[in-house]
Structure 1
Amino acid sequence: MTTVLITGGLTGIGRATAAAFAGQGADVVVAGRHDAELPAGAVFMHADVRQEDDIRQLVDDTVTRFGSLDVAVNNAGTEGAPGAVTEQSADSYAQIFDTNVLGTLLSMKHEMRVMFEQGHGSIVNVSSVLGHQGAAGTSIYVASKHAVDGLTRSAALEAAGHGVRVNAIAPGPIETPMLQRYESTRPETDLRASVPLGRAGTPEEIAKAVLFLGSDAASFMTGEVMFVDGGASAG
């Protein structure tokens, strides 16, 4: 039985990914800061990815309960408050980087600790197409996703000799609460217009790509950032 741990798994992409893995018969642990209705077949464990003690306990409890950690999906993230560079502060920086970057780093640290001992495992970090192109009004979020991509590639090189793969997925605009929040604050911005396919993606479409990266079908892939963005990064 495959054991899958998903941070930020209560809504959006994380929730769809949890449902997809559970549908394949995996043991799925969903981690978050707040209790909520779970995807069918998942187990909830409380954790704040910004707190190392929480992450250490989360990983250890997952292994204690299910015997292994085979796939980890580091999806917890925040867009913060959109705004120009001149409107940003140390606090707005920390709000985004502590979750998106520190949270990814701490999660990988403890996931890799267990996976190295096992001699196998697959980690999938959730980045963004905005990690590869600028976007006015989202400077700190964009920078955080650049950082996630760099962490992914560096960790992949460290993990390869231990039989552990580390990849990232870079979604384009996806129909999630995060996209809705962004649109409500910047109604003049139409992110869908930047997508050659002419629409936003669905969380389920991203979940299918995450399942691929986590599976043996991607056994020769590590250190990759996979774009699933309707062609937004092609131009």
Structure 2
Amino acid sequence: MVAFFAVMYYAALRPEETVDLRREHLVSLPEIGWGEMRLTHSEPRSGSRWTNSGSPRDRQLLKHRAPGETRPVPLHPDLVRLLRHHIAELQIPGGRLFVGPRGGIMTDRTYLGVWHKARAKALTPAEAASPLAETPYALRHAAVFTWLGAGVPPAQVAEWAGYSVAVLLRVYAKCVADQEDEAKRRITEANTSPAEEREVGRRRRGCRLGRTHVSDSAHRKSR
């Protein structure tokens, strides 16, 4: 189940989207570099009493997407390697990428059981008693935080993660706010003329030379 959890961590999929993931959703899995997947559905758990099929999960359209609309998601090179290994190791020609122990649909009991065991081994007793990474959904949050922290525009992150921009900004407001200094730096660079850039570079070189001269002088006096 390494690739199962890796999909949530690197591609910000919801658990119900990961359960529904199929071979045809993987548009590109190159040997080197980034890949791509294109999602079409999810399978949330509603309980057999509330689904049309009588099964605990019912296949539905993606959240925040119109009928027939898909969602492209980039695949980090590390995730590409894990998926390629997963497909080759389990000899998956098509159909579902992740199945339960008996070959059927992946249940929340199965992946939650594995998650809680791994969490207990990976965390300290104090961390395990805290809300830290309490559910696999934390992996999705980690992916979105990583994208925003890397400076990916919120609109693009919302597209990849399957959020509306309004929801993204509300849920991850702190992360977006933390990029204020970086945003100011980029605006400054965009509004700086080539002549000003050369002058700033000249001043920085002068400061470095001055610091070097002071350091050399201090070193000679110490000797």
Do Structure 1 and Structure 2 share a fold, with TM-score over 0.5?
A: no
Q: TM-score range by the shorter chain?
A: under 0.3
Determine which structure has the larger helix proportion and give its number.
Answer: 2
Max radius of gyration: which structure? 2
The TM-score with structure 1 as length reference comes to 0.21
